[in-house]
Amino acid sequence: MKKILSVICAAAVFTSSAITAMRTETPETVSAETSVNYAEALQKSLYFYECQQAGPLPAWNRVEWRGDSTVTDFITGGWYDAGDHVKFNLPMAYSAAMMAWGLYQYPDGIEECGEMTNYVNNLTFVMDYLAACDLGDEIVYQVGNGQEDHTWWGAVELYEYGQAENGNDYSAGRPYYTAKAGEGYSAVLGEMAAALAAGAAALDGRSDKTDEYISHAVNMFEMADTAKSDTDYNGSDASGFYRSSHFYDELFWAANWLYIATGEQTYLDKATSYIPNLGKELGSDELKYSWAHCWDDVQQGGMILYAQNTGTYTDRVKRHLDYLVNEVTRVDGAIVYIQNWGCLRYATTCGFLAAVACDTLSLGDTAAYEEFYKTQIDYALGDNPLGQSYVVGYGENYPKNPHHRTAHASWNNSVYEPEENRHILYGALVGGPNQDGTYEDDRNNYINNEVACDYNAGFTGLLCKMVDEYGGETDPSFPEPETRDAEFFVEAMLKQSSSSGVSLSLKFTNHTAWPARVVDNMSYRYYFDASEVISAGYSASDIVVRVDRDQATMYGQEYAAEISPITQYKDNIYYIEIKYPNGAAILPISEGRHQCETMLALVFPNYGNGWDASNDYSNTDLMDTIGAEEGVVTDKITVYNNGVLVYGIEPDGTKPDVSTPTEPDEYLKGDVNLNGNVELSDVVLLVKYTLAIKSLKSEQLDAADMTEDNKVNIFDVSALKGALTE
């Protein structure tokens, strides 16, 4: 399992240097100069990228509602683009390059606030994917078909099953697309080269893979530079989603990053050679200063790098900043309004470029630029007339329904059901307000509530700057466990009830979302009281059980339900158990599959009179459903996995065995997970904490402080292991 550390991992910690974590409280404000907590926002923005991870998830992934997904992709790993599940390498590489730039420019603040491990982990994850896309003589630039992907709305962990409902067989892997030498894919290959070079520069001294990243960046850049065309890319599936407007900006951007990463003059010379072909102002030979840095236009970011690398063209950078500060329409007199779709991604990215330029170039009086970048980020974090945070899970008033399939966790392929997202997509920057400052927290409103990797890219970079300048404190209890709704239950209805017996509709339901998944060997029990049968001189075994419908067989006999014999529970209480050995019979992927109906009839052998449905335990909530259009969910029909009760209440009051955390003042020393016991799982959790993989609450830190020195570190791990072996 992705989130279980092995004992080997735990043992390995003992050979590492001691890591000490002091207990701190999150302050209401992080400094006298600011009322927002940039460190917490950065912490959550990085978490958002973990929500986007594809393929087998790394052990350090902190998202409890995510699981392994699309594991048969030709190239596994990488990030899903937005609320969908395609891996579009153009915006992905752009996002990776921007994340790398934030680390490259502002490492001290990241280190100081304790997010360096998370930052490096997330950056390395996407770099490894981009590197793996390099096959030598061809390069993968997209995995998944955008048109097909958008036909299904559900959690990505069940992607193959959901797409199969639409006739797309992905059992052997999704479609993928490659660029070959000489073909026109300059923008996407140039952006991938830029990302890998920027990643190598940012991770220098923090990773042993930087030479590998540079090698792949060089190959990609050569292919992009040789072709100098986007013809083939813009004729591909990608063009319906991320069409490239030009490619010289990507070549310019990549050449500058390659120069930074390698120090080789040839790349700076290449960058210089591209300048005449860069974008110009309409009807002019002047280099373009308007618009904004984004996934499709990296000219302004490239110009800042070029000015850093050469000491020239600083005036062009300043001209762009003056345009942003003085000429662009503002929302509420604050954030720049470049475009209606995802306006905050532009605003925060503009802020990041302004910050980098102020910190690295000689621009003269920078007071207006400094006020500009702080205004952009503070507005996004809630300093606006609505008091609206536009970052999910940050602040008191934040978006609850971002446009995101897996966070929504629909069970029936519907953007409208359930009404509220089931998961908190922490750290996701939504599109933002309209030009008039209004905002709608509506999942189906793509303008205001879309999220994407590129939305968070410049936002994350600007947060690096703000943490570097203002500091801040991360949330030590983040992420808090989510409150889960029922994942398995039965929706039941009495179709008919008489003195000769009953007929029932029993719809077994899979609404799994932590994560969405296939679970084999699920079963449920319908309980009834056979007293009247026994009083009439019969035994319970004389009752006739008739199966009128087994919906599972619609999908093949391998999915068929198994109906148990009538089984005694206690005294005159008996049950019928319906079991699904193959969990794929019931999946939260569509209206037809999230429930599987079994229609049963229990017939009294006397065929005359005597059956009393009202005294049957499982009918407690069903007596009024005869003739109704829908059944009811009842906890009197109990659900099991491999024979273990997971939902409902048995007739004798037995409930699922759920560990209840002890009160903070009753904790046991060493009971890190606060479940009332000291066990190996506490060691695993403590190891995760010392490796900066998992945060702990204050009471958990108290329980973990085995040495009672007001610190929690590797020595407490050793003491806890010793306590378990005593």
Positions marked active-site: 84, 403, 441, 450
CB burial readout 35-66, b (16+ within 10 A) else e: ebbbbbbbbbbbbbbbbbbbbebbebbbbebb
d(CA 45, CA 427): 4
d(CA 549, CA 309): 73
Q: State how far the Cα of 10 lies from the Cα of 8, in Å rounded to an integer.
A: 5
Q: Compute the distance between CA of residue 684 and CA of residue 687 in angstroms, rounded to an integer.
A: 5
CA distances from 695 to 350, 489, 510, 609, 668 (A): 32, 32, 31, 63, 19
Amino acid making up residue 375: T
What is the rounded CA–CA span in Å between residue 334 and residue 293?
18
Q: Are strands 488-498 and 573-580 parallel, antiparallel or unpaired?
A: unpaired
Task: Give me the residue label for tokens 């036909």.
Answer: 151
SS3 42: helix
The answer to whether 474 and 385 have CB atoms below 8 angstroms apart is no
CA–CA dist 220, 186 (Å, integer): 9
Backbone angles phi, psi at 101, to 5 degrees: -60, -40
| DSSP conformation letters of 512-568 | --TT----SSEEEEEEEE-HHHHHTT--GGGSEEEEEEEGGGGG-GGG--EEPPPEE
Q: Judging by beta carbons within 10 Å of its beta carbon (0-12, 13-18, 19+), is residue 641 exposed, middle or buried? A: middle
Residues in the chain: 726
Would you say 491 and 509 are in contact if contact means Cβ atoms under 8 Å apart? yes
Cβ(243)–Cβ(182) under 8 Å?
no
Tokens of 419: 């009404």
CB 431 within 8 A of CB 77: no
Strands (E), 260-329: none
Per-residue buried b or exposed e for 306-332, using 16+ beta carbons within 10 Å of the residue's own CB: bbbbeeebbebbbbbbebbbeebeebe
Nearest to 386 by CA among 376, 395, 397, 401: 397
User: Shortest CA distance to 290 belongs to which of 302, 280, 301?
Assistant: 280
Element holding 39 (H helix, E strand): helix 38-51
